[in-house]
Amino acid sequence: MYKKKPFFIVFEGVEGCGKSYQSKILFNKLKKKKVDVVLTREPGGTKSSELIRNLILKDYFSKDSKEKFDKYTDTLLYLAARNEHIKNKIKPSLTKKKVVICDRFIDSTIAYQVYGKKVDINFINNIHKKILQGITPNIVFVLKVSMASSKKRLKKRKAKNRYDNFPQSFYNKAQNAFIKLAKKRKNYFTLNSSLNDNSLEDEIFNITKKYLNIK
């Protein structure tokens, strides 16, 4: 029997891995089971965090290429968005014993900023100590995708953001980082997302049901 409890589910992976799609599917499946569930994303999730998101992602397309955000400015913006998101959405939802599904969280910062851009991890860890308020995901789904499928999916996208334009080596680095981070933890599930059938959503739902004690 499902008993209400705070539960935090995170989806991670590189662009075109299908995590936004899979988080929506899981959200709908849980709603059908009458679970009180919230779907959100990073960067973003609240009005102020979405404003910061726009600022970060539009920077890539600014005409003056000499005036791009420094990687530390960029990192601070991700962390600023996260702070707003935790304070105003994630924490209050978990306090109300809701299930929160988040499209990206702290591992994206480790994969993209630390492994990808070589930002000092201590800088990030120190800020996380202040802003995370002890919140850690109960389960993380890392969706692994072949670079060919990722490229194919990105090509179909209307709205592009700057990471859609990064070289393949950047995605490789980020994906390897996600996989490495997942190997260290029992509550991380690295799942293959290259196939286009229902098996992935079934697997995600089955794992989640076990944790939440849903039939």
* Cβ neighbours around 20 below 10 Å, total: 15
Q: Could you tell me if 23 and 39 are in contact, meaning their C-beta atoms sit under 8 angstroms apart?
A: yes
End-to-end CA distance of the chain: 7
Which one of the spans 23-31, 101-109, 138-146, 205-213 is the region binding ligand TMP (CB under 6 A)? 101-109
Among 161, 190, 192, 194, binds ligand TMP (CB under 6 A): 161
Q: Could you tell me if 194 and 146 are in contact, meaning their C-beta atoms sit under 8 angstroms apart?
A: yes
Examine residue 42 and tell whether it contacts ligand TMP (CB under 6 A).
yes
| Comparison of 35 and 107: residue with beta carbon closer to ligand TMP | 107
Among 23, 40, 93, 108, binds ligand TMP (CB under 6 A): 108
Per DSSP, 103 falls in state E
Examine residue 60 and tell whether it contacts ligand TMP (CB under 6 A).
no
Which one of the spans 65-73, 105-113, 133-141, 195-203 is the region binding ligand TMP (CB under 6 A)? 105-113
| Comparison of 8 and 35: residue with beta carbon closer to ligand TMP | 8
The single residue listed with the structure tokens 């004690």 is 213
Examine residue 84 and tell whether it contacts ligand TMP (CB under 6 A).
no
Examine residue 43 and tell whether it contacts ligand TMP (CB under 6 A).
yes
| Comparison of 43 and 137: residue with beta carbon closer to ligand TMP | 43
- Tokens of residue 42, six digits: 């990073």
Examine residue 109 and tell whether it contacts ligand TMP (CB under 6 A).
yes
CA distances from residue 58 to 62, 63, 69, 173, 192 in whole angstroms, order as listed:
7, 10, 11, 23, 30
Q: Which residues contact 129 (CB under 8 A, 6 or more apart)?
A: none
Give the span between the Cα atoms of 98 and 192, in whole angstroms: 28
Which one of the spans 87-95, 109-117, 139-147, 191-199 is the region binding ligand TMP (CB under 6 A)? 109-117
Contacts with ligand TMP, residue ranges (CB under 6 A): 15, 42-43, 78, 104, 108-109, 112-113, 161, 163
